[in-house]
Structure formats: structure tokens, C-alpha cells
Amino acid sequence: MSQHHQIIIIGAGFAGLGLAIQLKKAGIHDFVVLEREAGVGGTWWVNRYPGAACDVQSHLYSLSFAPKADWSRQFAPRREIQAHLEEMVTAFDLAPHLELNTEITKARWDEHTKQWQVTDSQGRTRNSQLLVGALGGLARPAWPDIAGLDTFGGRIIHSQQWPDDLDLTDQRVGVIGTGASAVQFVPHLAKVTRSLHVFQRTPNWILPKPDRPIGPIQQLLYRVFPPARHLTRLGLFLLLETRLPAFTRWPALSALHRRKALKHLERQVDDPALIKALTPRYAMGCKRVLMSNDYYPTFNLPHVELIDRAITQVTPTAIVDQSGEAHPVDVIVLGTGFQATSPIPEGLIVGKDELDLGRLWAGGPKAYKGTAVHGFPNFFMLLGPNTALGHNSVLLMIEGQIRYIVQALKQMRKHHWQEIEITDKAQRDWNDQLDQTLSHSVWNAGGCQSWYLHPISGRNTTLWPHTTVRFKRLTKHFDHAVYACK
Ligand code: NAP
């Protein structure tokens, strides 16, 4: 017997839980949140590598309708964000709607019943009128295609699948990748390992991290006098929002930050050859701009080596670089990121006429407002294509999408629509405009390769190139005129 719900949400991270809160507020209680992991938190539940923290300021890295007054630091560590997500479950009484350890293997649109049929890994099925994918844009780890990696005799750990019991004390460790995750865990690994070889393909722009504790008096002020917290949030929001023009129109605007980053590097690293190897040769912002106070100094340590030559192969005991040198290692840590341009695996979501979303998006994901997809009636996504940000807190985008979905539900109820589907034309127009705006951006034309761009088509399928204010305006109302509603 399959269970029926009005809404099924897949994923219990910020997006899924945020939608659950707003559904309850709207008086909609017939929904379930299905989560593959044993706990809520999404990205903050799974990414447990040492040093994991947020690179967006805490007071902007929370949902406006589920705030937290007592963040302990300007940039919160993973554990605190995770605890906050768990507190959200308690504060909004979401537990009755949650089903953990429930991995969805297929969600299929049934044309006859106008329902989604959702099957989990234990063969249980559930039906719903509406399906929401809150799966996260950076949830599928990317494993590098390196010859011989599968022959390695030691452990290989991806940063997103960090075992709680991993002890790297006195081990010889090779790190592949130097992105946002690696700059956080590399300094921590250096503290315990016997040797650390960091394999860098492309250096990143790294700014100092203006992190500091938020003291008890300030926390108290935020708790007893919420306008103080609102003002702080507004200030952070404006600070980050004004970074956008440097990425989309006038790269010259980042000159000051470029100088700051280079000074930071020169101040923190002793060896001129190392400074040269760590200096990026592409426009700032083309890849995500990183922040760290302890990454660069790690390379001054005698047991840490930066290798900026390409990896040619992995043997059972070593990583071999382009010069032919073999670097013996006991453990390989992959900081190689995520399959951001293929967020949905094939066979997971199947819409009208057996359309497979994963296959449809093989050439690059496309949606309408990052939320609806033609061919997939009564289906919405949170953090779908082109909703990630290079300049501000992604939670602002999630909030816009949540509002839009709740509006859609209310309209469906009011007009007794059984089925809504975005039209092909609206979706095409939306993407054409995005492509046009993105083509001049630093992300597309800044002279680098990044996870923002689809590896085959070269399209930027991940980033939103306008202000978050604009996205908020565009998602304020459900624009049913561009949907086929029956
Ligand atoms: P990433 O930024 O995509 O970095 C992947 C790294 O692996 C890059 O240095 C890449 O080199 C390297 N790489 C990939 N394949 C390789 C290969 N075959 N050989 C050698 N090197 C290889 O991944 P990430 O660091 O996990 O971060 C991904 C995103 O997650 C970030 O941009 C950010 O949005 C998010 N994140 C956020 C936080 C936070 O604080 N909020 C923390 C961590 C991650 P190339 O640069 O040459 O491609």
C-alpha cells in the first residue's frame, strides 16, 4: 500500500526544512520530507572534514524566518550550523513530517492519476500531487579521472565523505584539489600528518578571512533587541550584494581586492617560488573567491609540499606527477568538489512521456527561475539551475523559491488545478536571457575553468547573474500565465 501526501519534499537541508516551515505557516500540513541521511542538515550533515565552516557571515547564513541570535563567530563552524538546523526541527515541530534514512531511487510522474509516484531504496512507494526536489546543487561528489586511482592500496577519502573515525596522525597524505573545501581542511591535516603533499592544478584567489568570535554581550543584544540583529544582517547583505558588478560588468572594480589577496599571499608565504606557484593567472571571481588565514602559512612547514605539476598517475603506493616524480602516500584525500553541472542522476526523476531529467540535462541543466522544468508537471526544485551565487548568501535564493512554491500551491488550490507545467517558451526565453547576461561575466569570460560551467556545452548552468533583490522580486508571485494549468 502506498502512502499519499499532498507534497513530497526530497532533502532535509536548509531548502527542504525551510519549505517545510513555510508550508506549515501557510496552513498546509499534508507533506513529508524524505532524507537519505540519518539526520537533517544536507550539506552540513555530510561535509564533516576537519575545519569545515561557512564562508558566508553567520548572520546572513540563516533563513530570515528562522533566525539565530547567538552565533558564536562571524563565520560559523559546521557543527554550529548543523546544530542550528536541528534546532529548526524542534522549534517548528517538523519531526512528524520527517522520514530519515529514506533514499529515493525513483520519482515518476503518472499521467493517468496526475500524481508523482516516489519509490525508496526499500521498495516503499508514496504518491503526491506535488514533488519538490531539495537535493542541493553540490550534493554529488566528483571523483577525478586519474589513471591508476583504483589501484591505490591505501584509503581514498573524498572531502564530502569524511569518516568520523579517520585518524591521519603520522600518516603520509596526498591531497588532490585546492578549492573551497581543501583550503579549510589542509591546515588541519598539516597539524597531524607526517608528510602532506598538496597537488594543485589551478591556484585560487584567497582573501584574509575577517573571522572573529561574537561575544556574549553582542549575542545577548541580538536576542533581546532583534532590530540590532536585523541591522547587522542588512549591513552584511548590502556588503555582499554590492560585490556583484565586479563579477558581471566591471572586473576592474575588483582591483583593490586583487591587491589585497596578493599582499595576503606575499605576507604569509616565505619562498618566492611558492608565491609564484600560488598566484592565480585569471580574473578574480572567475572561480569562487576563497577566504583563509591559515591555508598559505601551511606551505612554510617543512613537512608540507605544494606540487603544481599535473598528476599523471596513481600507483598502489604513490601519486606520480608530470616530471615523473613519485610521491609516496598512505592516504589520498580528494578535495575535488562536486558534479555541480549534473546535479540529478539519470533515472531519478522521470516526467511526462518518460522524460528522464538526468538524461535531459546531459548537455547542461535548464529550468525556469531555477525552480520549474518543462516536461515535469507539478514538480519544483530548490536551488535548481542558475540559482547558486558567486557574491552573496544562497539562502536568499532559497527563500525566494520557497515563497514562489507556496504561492503556486495556493493558486492550485484556489483554481482547482490538478496539473501545472511551465511552458517550453517561457523556459527558453528565461535561459536565453541568462545566457546573454552571463556571457560577459567574469565567470564565463574570466579565463578559467570552474564548476560553474558545463564541461561539454561550456554554458554557465549554475550561477544567478543578477542581484538577489531581483530574484526575490521575480519569485514574489506565482506567474501562472506562463504555465499550462489544467
Ligand atoms: P572545487 O571548488 O570544485 O575544487 C575542486 C578542486 O579539485 C580544484 O582545485 C580542482 O582544480 C581540483 N581538481 C578536480 N579534478 C582534478 C584532477 N583530476 N586533478 C587535479 N585536481 C583536480 O570543490 P570544493 O572545494 O569542494 O568546493 C566546491 C564548492 O562548494 C565551492 O565553490 C563552494 O561553493 C562550496 N563550498 C563552500 C564552502 C563554504 O565555506 N561555504 C566550503 C566548501 C565548499 P581546478 O581548479 O584546476 O579545476
Query: Which atom of ligand 1 has the smallest separation from the CA of 56?
Result: 41
Query: Which atom of ligand 1 has the smallest separation from the CA of 202?
Result: 47
Report how far ligand 1's centroid is from the alpha carbon of 145 (Å): 15
For the CA atoms of 445, 448, 453, 455, the dihedral, rounded to the nearest 10 degrees, stands at 120
Q: Tell me what pLDDT residue 446 has.
A: 94
Query: Which atom of ligand 1 has the smallest separation from the CA of 178?
Result: 9
Report how far ligand 1's centroid is from the alpha carbon of 452 (Å): 11
Bridge partner residues of 10 (DSSP): 34, 133
All structural domains of the chain? 3-140+339-485 (3.50.50.60), 149-204+251-334 (3.50.50.60)
Report how far ligand 1's centroid is from the alpha carbon of 202 (Å): 10
The DSSP-derived string for 354-368 is: G-BHHHHGGG----B
Report how far ligand 1's centroid is from the alpha carbon of 337 (Å): 4
Taking only the tens place, the pLDDT of each residue in 88-119 is 999 999 999 999 999 999 999 999 999 999 99
Alpha-carbon dihedral sign for residues 100, 349, 13, 381:
negative
Report how far ligand 1's centroid is from the alpha carbon of 34 (Å): 28
Inform me whether the pLDDT recorded for 307 exceeds 90. yes
φ and ψ at 128, to 5 degrees?
-150, 155
Number of other residues whose CB lies within 10 A of the CB of residue 249: 14
Residues whose beta carbon lies within 6 Å of some atom of ligand 1: 53-55, 138, 144, 146, 159, 176-182, 199, 201-202, 288, 311, 335-338, 449, 451
Query: Which atom of ligand 1 has the smallest separation from the CA of 53?
Result: 40
Nearest CA to 446 out of 292, 264, 207, 248 is that of 248
Q: Tell me what pLDDT residue 1 has.
A: 66
Query: Which atom of ligand 1 has the smallest separation from the CA of 138?
Result: 30
Report how far ligand 1's centroid is from the alpha carbon of 462 (Å): 14
Q: Tell me what pLDDT residue 2 has.
A: 80
CB-based contacts of 479, cutoff 8 Å, min separation 6: none
What's the rounded mean pLDDT across residues 235-257? 93
Q: Tell me what pLDDT residue 441 has.
A: 96
Taking only the tens place, the pLDDT of each residue in 455-486 is 999 999 999 999 999 999 999 999 999 999 99
Taking only the tens place, the pLDDT of each residue in 179-201 is 999 999 999 999 999 999 999 99
In this structure, which residue's CA is closest to atom 21 in ligand 1? 177
Taking only the tens place, the pLDDT of each residue in 308-363 is 999 999 999 999 999 999 999 999 999 999 999 999 999 999 999 999 999 999 99
The pick from 313, 391, 451 for probing ligand 1's pocket by mutation, whose C-beta has the most ligand atoms within 8 angstroms, reads 451
Q: Three cell numbers at 292? A: 583563509
Residue 13 to residue 46: CA distance in whole angstroms: 10
Residue 416 to residue 483: CA distance in whole angstroms: 14
Report how far ligand 1's centroid is from the alpha carbon of 199 (Å): 12
The pLDDT-based confidence of 283 (bands split at 50, 70, 90) is: very high
In this structure, which residue's CA is closest to atom 30 in ligand 1? 180
Bridge partner residues of 53 (DSSP): 77
Report how far ligand 1's centroid is from the alpha carbon of 263 (Å): 23
Measured CA distances, 269 to 204, 282, 300 (Å)? 15, 20, 6
- Burial of 186-218, coded b for 16+ CB within 10 Å and e otherwise, reads bbbbbeebebbbbbbebbbbbbebebeebeeeb
Q: How many CA atoms lie within 13 A of 243 on its CB side?
A: 17
Report how far ligand 1's centroid is from the alpha carbon of 99 (Å): 31
Q: Three cell numbers at 276? A: 609564484
Which H or E element spans position 91? Answer: helix 78-91
The pick from 78, 178, 443 for probing ligand 1's pocket by mutation, whose C-beta has the most ligand atoms within 8 angstroms, reads 178
In this structure, which residue's CA is closest to atom 36 in ligand 1? 180
Residue 330 to residue 36: CA distance in whole angstroms: 31
Report how far ligand 1's centroid is from the alpha carbon of 280 (Å): 15
Q: Three cell numbers at 121? A: 531504496
The pick from 181, 309, 314, 338 for probing ligand 1's pocket by mutation, whose C-beta has the most ligand atoms within 8 angstroms, reads 181
The pLDDT-based confidence of 236 (bands split at 50, 70, 90) is: very high
Q: Three cell numbers at 163? A: 569518516
Q: Give burial (CB, 10 Å; 0-12/13-18/19+) of 163.
A: exposed
Report how far ligand 1's centroid is from the alpha carbon of 204 (Å): 10
Query: What rounded mean pLDDT belongs to the chain?
Result: 97
The DSSP-derived string for 138-201 is: T-SBPPP--TTGGG-SSEEEEGGG--TT---TT-EEEEE--SHHHHHHHHHHHHH-SEEEEE-S
In this structure, which residue's CA is closest to atom 18 in ligand 1? 144
